[in-house]
Amino acid sequence: MTSEFLDFIDIISNVYSHHPMTSFIFRALIPYLSVGIFWCGFHSAWWALIAYHAAILLCRDRSYKLQFRLSRFGVLTSLITLPSGALTYYFLDSITQIPIEEWLLRYDLEGWTLWLMVPYFGLLHPIIEQIHWAPLRRKSPVFHLLFAGYHLLVLFTLFHIGWLITAFIALVAISYVWFILQEKTQSLGANTLLHIHADFGLMLAVVLLVG
């Protein structure tokens, strides 16, 4: 899998460096390429995330000034996603079309590889993803749809169509909330904390469900 990853990064680097005029469109497609190849193709959650994050850091918009200040308003706003872990724990099994353990095994998530995903996906992933999508959200509302859309590639084998639509609408809404917050606070601090509450809670709930 290492050689496929290196080939992927080489292609990303070459395309990005030779087509600067369409760079923002290309950056929006990075999660689709990473998830499409490594999650859907090779059925590897870890390689999909590593490819996604590596491509983000390679191609990020360096003209966008990163700020992670946290105000009282930002902290209080971030609390809206704090219950996500409890909600996941109590309701996930009732809305999936296959057992969560079986779904995780499809993508090589078991034992220590699953537990290690809690800090990686729950703490590091939100920071990197905010760095990626923050400048894109300023370009056009279309990027709210693109942010939500790539998650469906991950979830389509887990949820029925009704819950996929619900997830898509919720993700579009949260992307728009992030846009409002970053414009109001001129910082990604509240967005990142809100994102961490959601992703860390979700992953912790999942490992407790299967543990």
pLDDT of residue 198: 95
What is the percent of the chain where pLDDT is above 70? 97
pLDDT of residue 18: 65
Residues in CB range of 158: below 8 A, 6 or more apart: 96, 97, 98, 100, 103
Q: What pTM was estimated for this model as a whole?
A: 0.93
Residues in CB range of 10: below 8 A, 6 or more apart: none
Segment among 4-13, 72-81, 105-114, 131-140 with least mean pLDDT: 4-13
Report whether 150 contacts 52 (CB < 8 A).
Answer: no
DSSP assignment, residue 65? P
Extents of the domains making up the chain: 2-210
Predicted confidence (pLDDT) at residue 22 exceeds the cutoff of 80: no
- State the Cα–Cα distance between residues 28 and 136, nearest whole angstrom: 7
- State the Cα–Cα distance between residues 21 and 16, nearest whole angstrom: 9
pLDDT band at 211; cut points 50, 70, 90: confident
**Got the DSSP string for 124-189?**
IHHHHHHHHHHHHHTT-THHHHHHHHHHHHHHTTTB-HHHHHHHHHHHHHHHHHHHHHHHHHSSSH
pLDDT of residue 66: 87
pLDDT band at 205; cut points 50, 70, 90: very high
